[in-house]
Amino acid sequence: MIRLAKRTAATSTRTTGSKDGAVRRMAGALLLGGTLALAPLAQTAQAAGTSAQTAYPIVLVHGMLGFDTIAGIDYWYGIPGELRAQGAKVFVAEVAATNSSEVRGEQLLKQVKDVLALTGASKVNLIGHSHGGPTARYVSGVAPQLVASVTTVGSPHKGSKVADLLGNTLPEGSLSRAVVVSAVNAFSSLIGILSGNNTPQSGLGALDSLNTAGSAKFNAKFPDGVPTTACGNGAELVNGVRYFSWSGTQPLTNVFDASDYPLSLLSAVHGEPNDGLASACSSHLGTYLGSYRQNHLDEVNQMLGLRDLFSVSPVTLYVNQAAKLKQLGL
C-alpha cells in the first residue's frame, strides 16, 4: 500500500499510529540492526524551494527487502523530505519485499491509481531503486498513459550475477534451496508486518526475476528503454514515457559503514564495475545519466547517510533528476 495520508508535498511528518508502540519499535530496531539495510539518523529541515517542483507527482519504488518505513526508519533516507522541500509532490510506494516483478508491478499499479485519484494528476513520475526499477517498468509497460517517466537507480535490468550465483548454488529441488527460500520468505513477511504491509511474499519469485534468465524474459515482454547493446543507452522516449537511469560503481565507500564489507565481497562476482549487487552496464535504461562512487545502499542514502565524502550526495542526485523532469515539463 502507499502511505497517502503522510506523503503530501506540504509535510514530511510521518504518522505511525499503532506502530509507535515500544514493542514494535524494539522489534524494528533489532531487525534492522542485523541486516545490511537501514539505520536511523535525524533529518535536518531544508529551506523551501521549487527546483524539484515537477508537473506530475513522484512515486518512489523500493527494491527487494525494501519498505516504506519501519519504526520511524525510512528506506529512502532523507530523499522524500528534500524533494518535498524543493517543491515536489512525493509518494512512497510499498510493494512486496520479495516477489516477482509482475506481482510487485501489479501492486504498484494500484498505488499509482490511488495517487492519481488523490492528486487529480493524469500521470506520475516513477523512480525505482534496485528491483523497484523493473517493478516501475511493468507499470509503464501495461499502462503507459499513466506514466510520464521512469527513472531507475542501480536496477539490474539485464540480471544480477549475484542472483545467478544464488541460483547456481541452490539447485532446483534441493533441501538447501527450500531452506533458504523459506527463510527469505519469513524475513520478508516480518518486514511486511513491521511496516504494516501484509502483501504475499515470494523469495523464489524475486530470485527468478532478478537473475539473467528471468530478466531476459521480462525484457522480452517489456523492452521499452532497454539498451540493445551490452552497455549502451536505450530509447529515452517510448510510448510517451521517458526513461532514465544511473548507478553506483564503488562497493566500498566508507570504512565506518558495516554494510560496505559484504557488498565489497559480492562485487567480485561481477567482473566489471558494479555497486555490489548490480553491474553498471546491467543498470542502463533509456538515457544513462552516469555512474557514481556509491554502492547499492548508498544509492538510497543508507546506512546512516554514510558514503564516499568525495562523491556527490545521493540526495542531490534525486533532486537533480526532479529538476531535469521539471525542465522537460514532466
Residue 178 pLDDT > 60, yes or no? Answer: yes
Write down the pLDDT at residue 39. 31
| Domain spans of the chain, in order of start | 22-28+43-327
The tens digit of pLDDT for each residue in 38-48 reads 332 233 334 47
Question: Are the C-beta atoms of 73 and 305 separated by less than 8 Å?
Answer: no
Mean pLDDT of 51-58: 97
Q: Which residues are catalytic?
A: 130, 275, 296
Q: What are the E-state strand segments in 15-99? A: 58-61, 69-70, 73-74, 90-92
Residue 31 pLDDT > 60, yes or no? Answer: no
Write down the pLDDT at residue 187. 65
The tens digit of pLDDT for each residue in 256-301 reads 888 899 999 999 999 999 999 999 999 999 999 999 999 999 999 9
DSSP state of 227: -
- Grid coordinates standing for 163? 542472483
Which of 83-87, 166-170, 313-317 is predicted with the least confidence, judged by mean pLDDT?
166-170
Mean pLDDT of 210-214: 95
Question: Are the C-beta atoms of 265 and 274 separated by less than 8 Å?
Answer: no
Whether the predicted model's global pTM rises above the 0.85 cut: no
Q: Using CA atoms, how far apart are residues 12 and 67, in angstroms rounded to an integer?
A: 17
Write down the pLDDT at residue 179. 76
Write down the pLDDT at residue 116. 98
Q: Please state, rounded to an integer, the average pLDDT across all residues of the chain.
A: 84
Write down the pLDDT at residue 34. 35
Place of cell 520478508: 188
Mean pLDDT of 68-78: 80
Beta partners for 291? 247
Q: In CATH, what class is 22-28+43-327?
A: alpha beta
Residue 304 pLDDT > 60, yes or no? Answer: yes
The confidence band for 248, taking pLDDT boundaries of 50, 70 and 90, is very high
